[in-house]
Amino acid sequence: MKKLMQGMMLAVATLAVCAGAAQAKQLVFCSEASPAHFDPGPTTGGNDFDASSRTIYNRLVEFKHGGTDVEPGLAESWEISDDGLTYTFHLRAGVKFQTTSYFTPTRDFNADDVIFSFERQWKEDNAYYNYLEGISWDYFQGMDMPKFLKSIEKVDDLTVKMTLNEPNAPMIANLGMDFASIMSKEYADQLAAAGTKELLASQPIGTGPFEFVDYQTDAVIRYKAFPDYWAGKVAIDDLIFAITTDPAVRVQKLKAGECDIMDYPNPADIADLQADTNLTVAEQEGLNIGYMSYNTTIAPMDNVAVRKALNMAINKKAIIDAVYQGAGQVAVNLIPPTMWSYNKDVVDDAYDPAAAKAALEAAGVKDLTIDLWAMPVSRPYNPNAARVAELIQADWAAVGVKANIVTYEWTEYRELGKAKDRPGAFQIGWTGDNGDPDNFFATLFSCSAIGVSNYSSWCDPTFEKLIQDAKKVSDQGERAKLYEQAQVVFKEQAPALTLAHSKVFMPMNKRVSGFTMDPLGIHRFDNVDVTE
């Protein structure tokens, strides 16, 4: 019976293969979630960006594969004025927009497209500012673009001048981010004239390596290689996202050959995947940090000695072994070691319960009770905050500090955590947006971020001056020096416990070649090839 069944299945499979397209090179990616839609401007999830900005679109500058350095994209070169206020971009000539069943471009990419792509997120009178019900340009706002941008002007068809209100060295890196993807103004105008602006989000047109073919809601996204891609047609012909929510099922699909590559495996499955001879498991340090913020305005945690003592009482190594299961490393600094300006000379607060206890006594702290906050969800930088909280609770108990573990629903958790007067120690984390250290230091610990994303309510004048100065200098070497000093101040002042940087895994079939893990967590398939 089993033989008969197998025979039948084989016959069916053979038929199925015969019916498929003739030997096109196909790559199937088992992705984690459905994209909200295909406009990278208003969306915020990594799965949204994989499906839109990194496949269909390009930006003025691009992050190098596997790194966070920027390289020319749709801008072939650029100059920054000495005062750091004027950016002149020289655009690539002859770049085509994709031709699909729903749009045929009549002209090449030019300065109008660049201006449109930013103004639609910036100017309220732009026809696309509110083109979908209830959209918000979260990244454009989040990266403070409205604060920095003064104007974007067309000098000629292939030259764009961007003027800033104040110098902002991370600007170039911001322009490599997903929200800065370049749209076709010609297409947008055509849709607006037809009264179907909302199609911009469901029938995308870009200049990127793949063109959109079809999206079957919650199931499959299909792309094909854009034959006239400015950097040359990519090696694979068809790219398919098979949306598979459950990580255990993704693993089964990969093993069964139903997909070639998958994201976010369960840590528990890694060893099994590594042992499979048909698969390779790529891994990389994630550009992220899991940390725990002390509210530095509330006694006794307004005292540096107390914060340091609490840090010393925690056995970070043991937590990482228990919770991250080999997929993490102890975080010494706020930024991960792969990021430029990382200060390797900073010495971490060593695990020393006896010294911690003595320091607490010396500070006159007795019978201390702390609210210890734990996220209700698994995050890339912390797979299980509740477990981390339990381990910290036990470590603190050993030095006479009592911890009450507190948790809320995820959005509520973040809202409550932001409050300036929130008591206790708050677990949270961050995943880098653009590979610039400013994206960690200023976003998370600048004075202006208090009440927003500075969960320590920490405003240290020395630290603040260093990170603000680093924004104004364009030379990376000089900036690195400032950030290195900032890391020293951070460790001395201990506004937070730096817990871990996690590792990210990407299992794939051996027939896949050329895939590079990306520190920013994006999945790009333009360099990938498959052998038959």
Partner 1 sequence: MLRYILQKLALIVPTVIGITIAAFAFIRLLPGDPILAMAGQHGITPERYEILKEQFGFNLPIWQQYFNYVGGVLHGDFGISVATKRPVMTEFLTLFPATVELATVAMILAIALGIPAGIFAAVKRGSWFDQVTMGVALTGYSMPIFWWGLLLIIFFSGYLGWTPVSGRIALNFFLKPITGFMTIDSLLYGNWPAFVSSLRYLILPSIALATIPLAVIARQTRSAMLEVLGEEYVRTARAKGLSPRRVVGLHAFRNALIPVVTTIGLQVGTLMAGAILTETIFSWPGIGKWMIDSISKRDYVVVQSGLLLIALIVMAVNLIVDVLYAVINPRIRVQ
Q: Is 430 in the site for partner 1 (CB under 8 A)?
A: yes
Q: Is 15 in the site for partner 1 (CB under 8 A)?
A: yes
Provide the 3-class DSSP secondary structure of residue 403: strand
In the complex, what is the shortest distance from the CB of residue 43 to partner 1, in angstroms, rounded to a whole number?
8
Do residues 443 and 291 touch, judged by C-beta distance below 8 A?
no
Q: Is 21 in the site for partner 1 (CB under 8 A)?
A: yes
Q: With CB under 8 A as the contact rule, which of the stretches 95-103, 127-135, 364-372, 419-427 interacts with partner 1?
A: 127-135
Q: Is 23 in the site for partner 1 (CB under 8 A)?
A: no
Report the C-alpha gap between 440 and 436 in whole angstroms: 8
Residues 297-336: x/- map of binding to partner 1 (CB under 8 A)? ----------------------------------------
Contacts of 400 (CB under 8 A, 6+ apart): 357, 360, 366, 367, 368
Q: What is the DSSP string of 334-382?
A: SS-TTSTT--TTPPP----HHHHHHHHHHTT--S-EEEEE--SS-BTTB
Binders in 400-419 for partner 1, by CB under 8 A: 408-412, 414-415, 418
- For 109-163, what is the HEC assignment? CCHHHHHHHHHHHHCCCCCCCCCCCCCCCHHHHHCCHHHHEEEEEEEECCEEEEE
Q: With CB under 8 A as the contact rule, which of the stretches 34-42, 96-104, 317-325, 327-335 interacts with partner 1?
A: 34-42
**Strand (E) or helix (H) holding 168:** none
Do residues 443 and 455 touch, judged by C-beta distance below 8 A?
no
Provide the 3-class DSSP secondary structure of residue 508: strand
Count interface residues toward partner 1 (CB under 8 A). Answer: 66
In the complex, what is the shortest distance from the CB of residue 302 to partner 1, in angstroms, rounded to a whole number?
26
In the complex, what is the shortest distance from the CB of residue 279 to partner 1, in angstroms, rounded to a whole number?
14
Q: b/e for 35-50, b at 16 or more Cβ within 10 A? A: bbbbbbbbbeebbbbb
Report the C-alpha gap between 372 and 385 in whole angstroms: 10
Residues 136-175: x/- map of binding to partner 1 (CB under 8 A)? x-xx-xxx--------------------------------
Instruction: Compute the Cα dihedral for 370, 375, 381, 382 and give only its sign.
Output: positive
Q: Is 6 in the site for partner 1 (CB under 8 A)?
A: yes
Cβ closer to partner 1: 43 or 311?
43
Binders in 214-233 for partner 1, by CB under 8 A: 214, 216-220, 222
In the complex, what is the shortest distance from the CB of residue 253 to partner 1, in angstroms, rounded to a whole number?
5
Do residues 392 and 312 touch, judged by C-beta distance below 8 A?
no
Q: Is 184 in the site for partner 1 (CB under 8 A)?
A: no
Cβ closer to partner 1: 351 or 408?
408
Q: Is 258 in the site for partner 1 (CB under 8 A)?
A: yes
Burial class of residue 18, CB neighbours in 10 A (0-12, 13-18, 19+):
exposed
Cβ closer to partner 1: 17 or 347?
17
* 62: nearest Cα among 518, 529, 474, 528: 518
Q: Is 135 in the site for partner 1 (CB under 8 A)?
A: yes
Q: Is 198 in the site for partner 1 (CB under 8 A)?
A: yes
Select from 18, 193, 299, 350 the one that contacts partner 1 (CB under 8 A): 18
In the complex, what is the shortest distance from the CB of residue 157 to partner 1, in angstroms, rounded to a whole number?
33
Q: Amino acid identity of 384?
A: N
Cβ closer to partner 1: 146 or 232?
146
Report the C-alpha gap between 455 and 420 in whole angstroms: 8
Residues 456-475: x/- map of binding to partner 1 (CB under 8 A)? --------------------
* 510: nearest Cα among 282, 327, 284: 282
Residues 41-70: x/- map of binding to partner 1 (CB under 8 A)? ---xx-------------------------
In the complex, what is the shortest distance from the CB of residue 260 to partner 1, in angstroms, rounded to a whole number?
11
Select from 54, 253, 316, 479 the one that contacts partner 1 (CB under 8 A): 253
How far, CA to CA in Å, does 525 sit from each of 27, 357, 522?
9, 52, 10
Q: With CB under 8 A as the contact rule, which of the stretches 250-258, 358-366, 455-463, 478-486 interacts with partner 1?
A: 250-258
Q: Is 12 in the site for partner 1 (CB under 8 A)?
A: yes
Q: Is 9 in the site for partner 1 (CB under 8 A)?
A: yes
In the complex, what is the shortest distance from the CB of residue 46 to partner 1, in angstroms, rounded to a whole number?
9
Residue 70 carries which DSSP code?
Answer: E
Q: Is 28 in the site for partner 1 (CB under 8 A)?
A: yes
Provide the 3-class DSSP secondary structure of residue 244: coil
Q: With CB under 8 A as the contact rule, which of the stretches 5-13, 107-115, 302-310, 347-355 interacts with partner 1?
A: 5-13
**Residue 340 CB-half CA count within 13 A:** 17
Residue 423 carries which DSSP code?
Answer: -
How far, CA to CA in Å, does 442 sit from each of 439, 454, 465, 483?
6, 9, 11, 11
Burial class of residue 439, CB neighbours in 10 A (0-12, 13-18, 19+):
buried
Q: Is 361 in the site for partner 1 (CB under 8 A)?
A: no
Residues at the contact surface with partner 1, assessed by CB under 8 A: 2, 5-6, 9, 12, 15-21, 26, 28, 33-34, 36-37, 44-45, 132-136, 138-139, 141-143, 198, 201-202, 214, 216-220, 222, 240, 242-246, 248-249, 252-253, 255-256, 258, 408-412, 414-415, 418, 430-431, 443, 452-453
